[in-house]
C-alpha cells in the first residue's frame, strides 16, 4: 500500500537516512525500532510530509506523494508528547480533523463520540486537556488521529512519555484498537500503521513486522519472533537484549549445527542459510537460554561452568553474571525461583544452554 | 509555517520599516553632526571641548544616572528580597503595585511629584498648616534630589522584577547546603547568594543607568532651567535655539554611550547564564517566622508603598480639590471648554482625541509589523530553533529600545522633512514614531509566546488536514491571543503617554495629552494647573487599567513558573 523507495535525508552535513526502502501492506502494523538518533522518527516525518526527503520516492497505492502537502495526505499522526491543542477541550480536539475535512458540527458529533467510546473516554468530552492524566491524553491523541479515518496511521513513540507500568497496560490496549477496530463499509479491520519506538518489548508486542534501524540504515526486517530467533547482525542481537556474543567456527552444519566457541562446542537449533562447516560465525546465547544444573553434571551438551559474579534478583527473574575461563562475562536470566539455588558470588556454578536459545550469525557482517 | 513564496516577502516589511524610520533618521543625525554643510566639518564635535557648558551637561547626565541607580538599588533590593523569600498577605497585590510607575508616562510622574513636593504642593500645604509656617519648608523642586527620587520611584520595579525574579527562583537548598557545611548567615549571603545574584543585580543596574541616562520628562519638568541631561539639552538646542547641528552632535554622543552600555549589558546577560537549577517559587517562599521577620516585611512594604503611591494619590486628590474647599470635577469639565487663556487654539479635550487616534494607529501598525517580526525571529522550523538570520536580527529589532525618544524625534526632523520623504507636516509622523518606539515591546511580548508554541501543535493540525491559513487561525492566533492582547495594550499605553518624541514632532493644531499637560504646567493660573492635574489623572487611570489588563493576560513567564 505504501512503498518507500531509496529515501535519503541529511540535516545540514549530518546524514540521517541512507537509501531506505520499505513496503507496507494494507492492514499491516510495522514498527521502526532503533536507538535514538537512528533516523526512525525522521523517516516517519518524511512519510507524513512534515519533512522533505533529499532523495527517494514515496508511493501511496502507486501514487507519488511528492508535492502533496502534509494537510492533504489524509494520514493520522500521533506525537510523542501528543500535541493536544491546549485551547480546545477533548471533544474539539477529536473533532479537529473532521472539521478540517469540512464536516458540520452536527455531522461529526457521532463520529467523535464513537472514537471516544473506542478509546474508553466516553463522558469526558467537555474536559480540558490539561485536566487529563497522561494515559487519558494518550487516548485522546489516539482518538483524534483515528477520527478522520486515516489511510495510514503514523505513531511516533506514542507511549514514550508514559511511565513503565502505564505503558505496559496500554501496549495491549493499543494493539487491540489498531487490530480490531470495527470494520466500516469499505475498510478492512486493521489500520495500516507505522509505529516508531526505541523500546524493543513495545515493538515486539505490537508489530506484525519490525524494522530495526541503526545510524540511518535498516539492519533487519522481520516478524517479531523470527527476529528474536534469528537476529541478522550483532547490532540487532545486542539491541534485542542479547549480550552474549561468542566468536566461533562451525564444526557441523545443518541440520545438527555444532559450533566451536570459547565455551566449548555449542549445539544450536538453527543457523544462517548458506553456512557450512568451517565458516566463522558469532554464536548468540540468548539470556533466557540458560538453565541451572548441578556442578557434578557431565557428559551432556551445551554445559557451561563459570564463576558467579553478580546476582540481581528481579522478582520473576534473576539476572546472573558469570565469568568463564579467560575473564569474559556472560549474562543470563534465570527463573526467579532459581535464586534460592544460587551459591554466593565467587562460587562456581554450571548452566546448560537450550539449543533453541542459540543463534548463529554469519561472521562477514560483523562490523561492530 | 510553509507559506507560498510571495507571502514570505511580507516578513521583509518590519525590516523595511526599521530601515526608513530608524536607521535612516539616525544616519541623518550622523551626517548633520559630522558634515552640517555637506562636507566634513568637525567644529560641531569640537564644541564639546570648547564649550564647558556642554561638558557640564555630559558630566551631570552621567553622575545623576549613577546616583539614581544607587538610590534605586537601595530602595529596590530590600523589596526584591522580601518578595522573593517571604509569603505574606496581599503579596500579589503589593507586588503588582510596585510595577505601576513603570507604565506611567513621564509627564504624569512629573506632575505627580510637583503636586506632592512642589512649593504649593500637598506636603508643603500640610506642613505649613500644621506647623503654622509662613513659607514652604520643603524646597525640593528644581533640585537634583527630586530628580533622583523620581528616578528611584520609576525604576524600583526593575530591581524587584529582575533581581527579585532571580532571587525567587534560586534554590534555597544552595544556602542550606552552605549552612550544613558550616557557613554562617552572613557568610551564606556573601559566598552564595550575592555571587549568584550579582549578574542580575548588574543587569538591573545597567538597565536603570540607561533609563536615567536618557531621562527627559522627569528632568525637564522637575529640574527646571538649572538642570539638563543630554536628552534635555538636545531638545533645547533643537527647539529653542534651532541649532540642529549641535543637537545632532549631542545625540551622537548620547547614542555612543548608550551603545557601549547596551553592549556591556548584552555581554553580561550572555555570560551570566549560569546553569542554575531554578526552583518553582512555591518551593522558595515561606511565611515570616519571627517577629523580626514580620517587622522587616512590614517595614519594607510600608516604605515602598509610601514612595510609590503617595505621589500618585496626591495627584488624584489634588485634581479634585485644587482651588476648592470640597471635591469638585470642575477641572475635568474644563477640559472640554476652550477658555481664552488656554495655550492652544482648541479645547484640551481635543488633545485626548488626538492622543487616542495617534495611539490606535500606532497599535495597529506596531501589531502588524511586530507580529511579522516575531514570526521572523521565532523561526518556524519543526524544531523551533531560530535560524541564523533570526539570531542576527534579534538584537536589531531591540535597537530602538536603546535610542532615546528625543534623538528619534530629532532624526525625524532632520531626515523626513525633505524629498523623497517629506512628512514634516504630515500627521502620520507621530504614529510612525510611536510605532517604532512600541515595536520592541510588541516583539518582546509576542516572541516568548511564539517560541513557546509547541511546533507539534502546528504539525498536528496540519496532519489532520489544516492548511497553513487554517493552522494560523486555529492554532497560532488562539494560543498567542493573550500575548497579542498584552502587546496591544503595551503599545497603546506607551503611545498614549509618549512625551520626548512628541514634543519635537507635534503640530500646534494637533497637540497630544502629554504636550498639553506639559504646556499647561508651564502656564500661570489655577485653571491651567488644574487642567494639567485632571488630564494627568486621566492618563494615569488609563495606564493603570492597561497595566491591570496586561497582568491579567500574562501567560506564565519563566520567572513565574
Residue range A76-89, pLDDT digits in tens: 999 988 888 888 89
For residues B88 and A293, what is the distance between their CA atoms, to the nearest angstrom? 70
pLDDT given at position B560: 31
Does A151 contact chain B (CB < 8 Å)? no
pLDDT given at position A145: 92
B382 closest CB neighbour out of A51, A86, A144: A51
Let me know if B37 is exposed, middle or buried by CB neighbors in 10 A (0-12, 13-18, 19+). exposed
Does A148 contact chain B (CB < 8 Å)? yes
The predicted model gives B377-399 an average pLDDT of 71
pLDDT given at position B24: 93
pLDDT given at position B405: 93
Cell digits for A155? Answer: 505513531
Three-state DSSP at A350 gives strand
How high is the mean pLDDT of chain B?
A: 85
- Examine the pLDDT at B145 and tell me if it is beyond 80: yes
Tell me if A71 and B467 make a contact (CB, 8 A cut-off): yes
Tell me if B465 and A48 make a contact (CB, 8 A cut-off): no
Count of beta carbons in the 10 Å neighbourhood of residue A67:
7
Q: What is the pLDDT of residues B309-320, one digit of tens each?
A: 999 999 999 999
B459 closest CB neighbour out of A76, A83, A144: A83
- Examine the pLDDT at A315 and tell me if it is beyond 80: yes
- Examine the pLDDT at A295 and tell me if it is beyond 70: yes
- Examine the pLDDT at B342 and tell me if it is beyond 70: no
B460 closest CB neighbour out of A73, A77, A148: A77
Let me know if B143 is exposed, middle or buried by CB neighbors in 10 A (0-12, 13-18, 19+). middle
For residues A289 and B138, what is the distance between their CA atoms, to the nearest angstrom? 95
> A74: phi > 0 → left, psi -120 to 50 → alpha, else beta; which?
left
DSSP B386: P
Q: Could you tell me the pLDDT band of residue B287, with boundaries at 50, 70 and 90?
A: confident
Give the residues across from A281 on adjacent strands: A248, A362
Q: What is the pLDDT of residues A176-202, one digit of tens each?
A: 888 765 555 555 557 899 999 999 889
Q: Could you tell me the pLDDT band of residue B557, with boundaries at 50, 70 and 90?
A: very low
| CB distance B412 to B25 below 8 Å | yes
For residues A81 and A137, what is the distance between their CA atoms, to the nearest angstrom? 9
| CB distance A24 to A30 below 8 Å | yes
| Residues in B touching A100 (Cβ below 8 Å) | 461, 464-466, 470
User: Where is average pLDDT lowest: A307-321, B77-91, B187-201, B457-471?
Assistant: B187-201
Residue B255, domain extent:
5-560
The predicted model gives B146-169 an average pLDDT of 90
DSSP E strands: which ranges in A163-272? 193-197, 209-214, 217-222, 244-252, 258-261, 264-267
Give the residues across from A258 on adjacent strands: A252, A267
Question: Of A172, A184, A194, which is closest to residue A147 (Cα–Cα)?
Answer: A184
Which residue in B465, B467, B471 has the most chain A C-beta atoms within 10 A of its own C-beta, making it the best mutation to test that interface?
B465
CATH number at B10 reads 1.10.3720.10
Phi, psi of A238 (to 5 degrees): -65, -40
The Cα of A207 is separated from the nearest Cα of chain B by a number of Å equal to: 23
How high is the mean pLDDT of chain A?
A: 88
Number of domains, chain B: 1
Q: What's the first-to-final CA gap in chain B, in angstroms?
A: 28
Q: What is the pLDDT of residues B16-66, one digit of tens each?
A: 999 999 999 999 998 888 887 777 887 777 878 888 888 899 999 999 999
Q: What is the pLDDT of residues B491-506, one digit of tens each?
A: 999 999 999 999 999 9
Q: Could you tell me the pLDDT band of residue B250, with boundaries at 50, 70 and 90?
A: very high
Amino acid at each position: 500500500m505504501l512503498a518507500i523507495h531509496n529515501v535519503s535525508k541529511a540535516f545540514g552535513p549530518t546524514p540521517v537516512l541512507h537509501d531506505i526502502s520499505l513496503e507496507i501492506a494494507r492492514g499491516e502494523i510495522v514498527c521502526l525500532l532503533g536507538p535514538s538518533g537512528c533516523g526512525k522518527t525522521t523517516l516517519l516525518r518524511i512519510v507524513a510530509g512534515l519533512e522533505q526527503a533529499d532523495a527517494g520516492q514515496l508511493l501511496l497505492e502507486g501514487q507519488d506523494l511528492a508535492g502533496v502537502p502534509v494537510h492533504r495526505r489524509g494520514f493520522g499522526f500521533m506525537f510523542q508528547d501528543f500535541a493536544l491543542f491546549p485551547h480546545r477541550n477533548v471533544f474539539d480536539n477529536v473533532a479537529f480533523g473532521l472539521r478540517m475535512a469540512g464536516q458540520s458540527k452536527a455531522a461529526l458529533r457521532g463520529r467523535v463520540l464513537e472514537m471516544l467510546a473506542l478509546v474508553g473516554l466516553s463522558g469526558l468530552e467537555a474536559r480540558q486537556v490539561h485536566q487529563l492524566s497522561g494515559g487519558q491524553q494518550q487516548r485522546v491523541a489516539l482518538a483524534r488521529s483515528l477520527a478522520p479515518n486515516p489511510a495510514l496511521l503514523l505513531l511516533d513513540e506514542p507511549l514514550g512519555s508514559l511511565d513503565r507500568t502505564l505503558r505496559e497496560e496500554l501496549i495491549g490496549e493499543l494493539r487491540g484498537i489498531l487490530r480490531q477496530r470495527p470494520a466500516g463499509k469499505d475498510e478492512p479491520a486493521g489500520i495500516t500503521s507505522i509505529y516508531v519506538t526505541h523500546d524493543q518489548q513495545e515493538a515486539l508486542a505490537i508489530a506484525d513486522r519490525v524494522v530495526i534501524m541503526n545510524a540511518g540504515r535498516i539492519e533487519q526486517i522481520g516478524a517479531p519472533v523470527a527476529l528474536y530467533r534469528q537476529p541478522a547482525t550483532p547490532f540487532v542481537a545486542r539491541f534485542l537484549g542479547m549480550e552474549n556474543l561468542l566468536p566461533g567456527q562451525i564444526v557441523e552444519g545443518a541440520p545438527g549445527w555444532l559450533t566451536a566457541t570459547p565455551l566449548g562446542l555449542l549445539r544450536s537449533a538453527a543457523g544462517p542459510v548458506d553456512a557450512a562447516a568451517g565458516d566463522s560465525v558469532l554464536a548468540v546465547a540468548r539470556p533466557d537460554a540458560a538453565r541451572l544444573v548441578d556442578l557434578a553434571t557431565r557428559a551432556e551438551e551445551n554445559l557451561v561452568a563459570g564463576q558467579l559474579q553478580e546476582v540481581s534478583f528481579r522478582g520473576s527473574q534473576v539476572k546472573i553474571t558469570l565469568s568463564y575461563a579467560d575473564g569474559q562475562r556472560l549474562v543470563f536470566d534465570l527463573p526467579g525461583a532459581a535464586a534460592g539455588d544460587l551459591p554466593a558470588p565467587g562460587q562456581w556454578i554450571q548452566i546448560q544452554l537450550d539449543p533453541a536459545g542459540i543463534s548463529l550469525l554469519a561472521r562477514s557482517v560483523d562490523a561492530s | 509555517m510553509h507559506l507560498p513564496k510571495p507571502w514570505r516577502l511580507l516578513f521583509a516589511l518590519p525590516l523595511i520599516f526599521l530601515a526608513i524610520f530608524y536607521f535612516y533618521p539616525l544616519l541623518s543625525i550622523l551626517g548633520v553632526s559630522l558634515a552640517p554643510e555637506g562636507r566634513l566639518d568637525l567644529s560641531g564635535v569640537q564644541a564639546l571641548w570648547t564649550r564647558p557648558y556642554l561638558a557640564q551637561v555630559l558630566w551631570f547626565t552621567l553622575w545623576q544616572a549613577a546616583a539614581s541607580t544607587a538610590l534605586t538599588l537601595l530602595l529596590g533590593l530590600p523589596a526584591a528580597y522580601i518578595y522573593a523569600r517571604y509569603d505574606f498577605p496581599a503579596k500579589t497585590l503589593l507586588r503588582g503595585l510596585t510595577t505601576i510607575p513603570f507604565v506611567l508616562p513621564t509627564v504624569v510622574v512629573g506632575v505627580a511629584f510637583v503636586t506632592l513636593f512642589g512649593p504649593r504642593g500637598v506636603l508643603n500645604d500640610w506642613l505649613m498648616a500644621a506647623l503654622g509656617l509662613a513659607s514652604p519648608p520643603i524646597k525640593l523642586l528644581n533640585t537634583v534630589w527630586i530628580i533622583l527620587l523620581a528616578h528611584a520611584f520609576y525604576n524600583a520595579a526593575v530591581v524587584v522584577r529582575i533581581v527579585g525574579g532571580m532571587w525567587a527562583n534560586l534554590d534555597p537548598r544552595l544556602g542550606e547546603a552552605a549552612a550544613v557545611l558550616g557557613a554562617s548567615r552572613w557568610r551564606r549571603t556573601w559566598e552564595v547568594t550575592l555571587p549568584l545574584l550579582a549578574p542580575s543585580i548588574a543587569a538591573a543596574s545597567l538597565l536603570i543607568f540607561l533609563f536615567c541616562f536618557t531621562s527627559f520628562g522627569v528632568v525637564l519638568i522637575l529640574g527646571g532651567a538649572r538642570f539638563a541631561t543630554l536628552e534635555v539639552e538636545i531638545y533645547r538646542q533643537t527647539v529653542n535655539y534651532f541649532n540642529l547641528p549641535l543637537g545632532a552632535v549631542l545625540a551622537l554622543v548620547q547614542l555612543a554611550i548608550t551603545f557601549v552600555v547596551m553592549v556591556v549589558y548584552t555581554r553580561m546577560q550572555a555570560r551570566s547564564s549560569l546553569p542554575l537549577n531554578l526552583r518553582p517559587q512555591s518551593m522558595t517562599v515561606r511565611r515570616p517566622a519571627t517577629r523580626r521577620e514580620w517587622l522587616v516585611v512590614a517595614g519594607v512594604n510600608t516604605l515602598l508603598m509610601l514612595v510609590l503611591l503617595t505621589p500618585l494619590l496626591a495627584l488624584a486628590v489634588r485634581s479634585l480639590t485644587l482651588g476648592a474647599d470640597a471635591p469638585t470635577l470642575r477641572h475635568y469639565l474644563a477640559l472640554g471648554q476652550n477658555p481664552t487663556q488656554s495655550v492652544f487654539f482648541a479645547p484640551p479635550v481635543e488633545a485626548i482625541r488626538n492622543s487616542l487616534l495617534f495611539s490606535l494607529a500606532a497599535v495597529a501598525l506596531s501589531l502588524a509589523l511586530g507580529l511579522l517580526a516575531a514570526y521572523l525571529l521565532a523561526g518556524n522550523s519543526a524544531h523551533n530553533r531560530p535560524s541564523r538570520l533570526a539570531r542576527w536580527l534579534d538584537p536589531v529589532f531591540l535597537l530602538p529600545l536603546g535610542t532615546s525618544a528625543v534623538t528619534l524625534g530629532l532624526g525625524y526632523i532632520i531626515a523626513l522633512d525633505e524629498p523623497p520623504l517629506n512628512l514634516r507636516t504630515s500627521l502620520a509622523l507621530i504614529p510612525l514614531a510611536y510605532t517604532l518606539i512600541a515595536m520592541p515591546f510588541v516583539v518582546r511580548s509576542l516572541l516568548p509566546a511564539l517560541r513557546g508554541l509547541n511546533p507539534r501543535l502546528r504539525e498536528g493540525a496540519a496532519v489532520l488536514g489544516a492548511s497553513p491559513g487554517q493552522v494560523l487561525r486555529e492554532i497560532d492566533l488562539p494560543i498567542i491571543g493573550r500575548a497579542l492582547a498584552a502587546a496591544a495594550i503595551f503599545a497603546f499605553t506607551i503611545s498614549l503617554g509618549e512625551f520626548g518624541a512628541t514634543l519635537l514632532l507635534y503640530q500646534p493644531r494637533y497637540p497630544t495629552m502629554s504636550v498639553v499637560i506639559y504646556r499647561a504646567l508651564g502656564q500661570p493660573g489655577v485653571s491651567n494647573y488644574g487642567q494639567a492635574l485632571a488630564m494627568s489623572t486621566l492618563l494615569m487611570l488609563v495606564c493603570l487599567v492597561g497595566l491591570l489588563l496586561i497582568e491579567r493576560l500574562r501567560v506564565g513567564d519563566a520567572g513565574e513558573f
